[in-house]
């Protein structure tokens, strides 16, 4: 890795993220949280663009923290890197004595480094051990899921997390084949999934194993349950006037973010009231109309930007504490 993985890492929608967060990061000492540090591309740009801001960045992957730490070392004490999952941000900030933040950035899904490191098992295009854990120090691997889950549970995660039409058939093949030999590497799984899907379907939509790999990754890392806690948790520590940008890469993530943002931007008072009481006023303002996508030029330069959906909000009102 002499050239460093960051040399070929292109942060997705970088300028748009900087633009949308900029109004919240003008004051000296403003705190921005990078909830998904990865290789540190977005973090480095935030520190360079807003020279008086302080960064708190979290990642569950120790390898990412090590590499990003080297990249961000020139910024000294302006950058604080923490080994944590992004639903732990409120606790991370409390431990650092930071009561509120001015900005937060979430770049969801699997990082470029994790995709590029063959032995992590995230990529279906190359044979590798079926691991898929973002933090390899904890939790169960994708191989363990394949080798131990019931038919019903496998079919459920393939259908719900992978949006796979042939979930039941693929689950049946997995159960049959694991009796013959437990799963350990990705190439065998890719081949089995390809053979389980009708030929007419295989001709469209890219690699037929893509949806199965997505489902396993989400299950292994608990991604959606973590996200369900993480977005409201980060909004709770966002100061009034603070801004949050979230980039999603599949419809399940985007739908969840959309729902949380829409709920925060909607008054909760019963319809028909002449005046909406303060506690029922919206606490968020939507900054994007629907979900924004990467430009054609950016997609041409960075194919990983193809599926991205960006949503952003501004905190316009403090929460009214009950009781």
Q: Give binding residues as ranges.
A: 40-42, 59, 86, 107, 114
What sign has the CA pseudo-torsion 198, 200, 204, 207?
positive
Q: Could you give the CA distance from residue 82 to residue 15 in angstroms, rounded to a whole number?
A: 25
**Token pair recorded at residue 97:** 């004595």
Q: Which residues are annotated binding-site positions for S-adenosyl-L-methionine?
A: 40-42, 59, 86, 107, 114
Number of H helices, E strands in the chain: 14, 7
- DSSP character string of 56-86: EEEES-HHHHHHHHHHHGGGGGGEEEEE--G
Residue with tokens 């098992």: 121
Strands 79-83 and 54-59: parallel
Q: Could you give the CA distance from residue 221 to residue 157 in angstroms, rounded to a whole number?
A: 13
Q: Could you give the CA distance from residue 134 to residue 120 in angstroms, rounded to a whole number?
A: 8
Cβ–Cβ under 8 Å, residues 21 and 43 = no
Residue with tokens 């191989």: 143
């Amino acid at each position: 890795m002499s050239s460093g993985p960051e040399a070929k890492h292109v942060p997705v929608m970088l300028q748009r993220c900087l633009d949308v967060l900029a109004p919240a990061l003008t004051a000296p000492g403003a705190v921005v949280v990078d909830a998904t540090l990865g290789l540190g591309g977005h973090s480095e740009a935030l520190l360079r663009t807003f020279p008086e801001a302080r960064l708190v960045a979290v990642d569950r992957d120790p390898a990412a923290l090590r590499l990003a730490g080297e990249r961000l070392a020139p910024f000294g004490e302006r950058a604080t890197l923490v080994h944590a999952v992004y639903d732990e941000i409120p606790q991370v900030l409390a431990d650092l004595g930071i009561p509120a933040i001015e900005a937060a950035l979430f770049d969801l899904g699997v990082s470029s480094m994790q995709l590029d490191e063959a032995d992590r098992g995230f990529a279906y295009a190359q044979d590798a051990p079926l691991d898929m854990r973002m933090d390899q120090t904890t939790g169960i691997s994708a191989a363990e899921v394949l080798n131990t889950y019931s038919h019903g549970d496998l079919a459920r995660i393939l259908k719900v997390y992978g949006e796979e039409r042939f979930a039941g058939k693929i689950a049946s093949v997995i159960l049959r084949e694991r009796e013959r030999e437990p799963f350990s590497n990705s190439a065998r799984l890719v081949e089995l999934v390809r053979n389980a899907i009708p030929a007419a379907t295989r001709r469209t939509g890219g690699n037929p194993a893509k949806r199965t790999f997505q489902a396993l990754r989400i299950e292994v890392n608990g991604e959606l349950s973590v996200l369900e806690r993480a977005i409201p948790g980060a909004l709770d520590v966002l100061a009034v006037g603070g801004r949050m940008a979230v980039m999603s890469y599949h419809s399940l993530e985007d739908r969840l973010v959309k729902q949380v943002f829409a709920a925060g931007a909607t008054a909760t008072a019963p319809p028909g009231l002449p005046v909406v009481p303060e506690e029922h006023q919206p606490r968020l303002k939507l900054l994007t109309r629907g979900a924004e996508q990467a430009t054609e030029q950016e997609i041409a330069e960075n194919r990983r930007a193809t599926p991205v959906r960006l949503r952003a909000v501004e905190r316009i009102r403090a929460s009214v504490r009950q009781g």
